[in-house]
Amino acid sequence: MPKIKKKLWFALAGLPLLAAGYFLQNLEPYRPLLVTSGPASCRMSVDVVEPVGGTPQGYVVLFHGVAANRRIMAHIAQDLANQNLRVFAPDFPGHGRTAPPFNPVHASECGEALVKELIERHAIVPEQTIVAGHSMGGAIAMRVSARVQVAGVIAISPAPMRATPSVQQEFIFFPDDPPLAKNTLILFGAREPERLRAISQAKVTEANDATSQFQLIPHATHVSVLFDDKVLDAIRTWNKKLLGTDADVVRATNRALAGFLCGLLGLILLCVPFIGEIGGGLKDQSKEDAVPISPTRVLGQVIVASVAAVVVLKFWVPLRILGLFQGDYLASFALLEGLILLTWNAAAIPRILRASWGSFFAACIGAIALVLLFGLWLDYSFYEAWLTVPRWLRLAPVAAAFFPWILAEELFLGAHGSMSRVRRLIFAMVLRAICWGVIVGALFFLHSGQILMLLLAAYFVILAILTRLAMDVVRRETQSPAATAVFGAILSAGFALAIFPLA
């Protein structure tokens, strides 16, 4: 009875939070029209946000960053529309609703073609058009403006386009660094890496052009800069200068972001009893033994296996065939490290693989249901995370790649009763932190690896905590390491496919 009451309390807390998130989402008047660009501009899905005043005073083509999509630019797009500007926000190839393949140079070509197509169709007037973007999109905006004459550029935390002694080639997406166009505004968060900020500052200084500016946004990070009121203020001042727009119109609020976070918390709370019910009743009849764990031995094995995996990946990425931009590296790392660790502990494999078919089935159904639920909420509220058919086709192989590592993690953590829940979570996070640290170390010291592992660190931390908490519920209910590993592998694969672009 106490257990049922606890699940009920989770549900009662989650439902109003989800409802409040839905309500907050609908307070913001962001109602774009979704269109598809022509073949020359890669048939990109494009949100068209009409100006609130009807007839536009100008136009903005707004580019997102790598591993993002047009939906994450909604806050800035709405504020631009409030300034009586018509906004075109595309999904680059391999992102959101636009078909692959993706690579940065191809995305830049598609962005340039989109601006030219809009000009040819008289959808924008170049002398009244600003190209803008964030991260990779900011760099693309600068590249487009070097080839297409427009009124100005707004580059928010633009990705570097040239290597320096402190920024190596692995951080660079593009083969060349075009000159800075006139009327370029570069905005950078004060809490972003100084070495990247210095490149943008130097670019403005070297241009020696009074029409261009570099502005530092206090306290902002690479992601928070998209929702910072000081960024909106800087953009409004720039638009007033170039296009004569009103800088004092109604400001876009962060209610939609608050609604997303509120609903996400509600969904997490609702999933606690859901996961418990999925696993309940399918528990193995024999109680799982609490196997003693030697943390020192485990940490040593994880370090050795992680280093061995990145050394192999320096020369060969076995899952490149997945066509998942930089996600193929992560999946290959998980596969190689997991296989090394399981081979190292081969004697324990028969014991941890014991599980009923019902437990496996329940784990699969539960994980897929969570991928659908979270994908639906993210897609509706904030980030276009609903898996398209090409992404669903990759779910099984990506999950299979994650499975060995997660099974090894379950082996190291032991039975659910072998340690407290808090200690269990901390120990698991330490293991995952070692893996991430080795991957980042490979990027800097082996010149191997992928920059997204560093740029998306905050996303991976949140994902690691949430998936681990969910897996602990499954482990407690089923008492099956193998079923728990299946659950975690599918969940991790679903979230990886939602974030990494398709190559």
Asked if residue 187 belongs to a domain, the reply is: yes
Asked if residue 259 belongs to a domain, the reply is: no
Identify the domain containing residue 305 by its residue range. 280-499
- The Cα 38–Cα 104 span in angstroms is 19
User: Residue 357: what pLDDT?
Assistant: 75
The pTM of the full predicted model, rounded to 2 decimals, is: 0.91
222: domain CATH number is 3.40.50.1820
Asked if residue 315 belongs to a domain, the reply is: yes
Q: Which residues of the chain, if any, have pLDDT below 50?
A: 1, 281, 285-286, 290
User: Residue 51: what pLDDT?
Assistant: 93
* Residues 378-402: tens digit of each pLDDT: 998 888 888 999 999 999 999 999 9
User: Residue 31: what pLDDT?
Assistant: 82
- The Cα 322–Cα 431 span in angstroms is 26
Asked if residue 258 belongs to a domain, the reply is: no
213 and 329 fall within a common domain = no
User: Residue 389: what pLDDT?
Assistant: 92
Domain tally, the chain? 2
> For 323, left (φ over 0), alpha (ψ -120 to 50), or beta?
left
237 and 327 fall within a common domain = no
Residues 6+ apart with CB under 8 A from 13: 266, 269
* Residues 298-309: tens digit of each pLDDT: 999 999 999 999
- The Cα 281–Cα 276 span in angstroms is 9
Look at residue 213 and give its three-state secondary structure: strand
Q: What are phi and psi of 464, to 5 degrees?
A: -60, -45
Please say which residue of 216, 233, 252 terminates a domain: 252
Asked if residue 20 belongs to a domain, the reply is: no
455 and 340 fall within a common domain = yes
User: Residue 279: what pLDDT?
Assistant: 56
213 and 307 fall within a common domain = no
324 and 220 fall within a common domain = no
Asked if residue 367 belongs to a domain, the reply is: yes
- The Cα 328–Cα 293 span in angstroms is 32
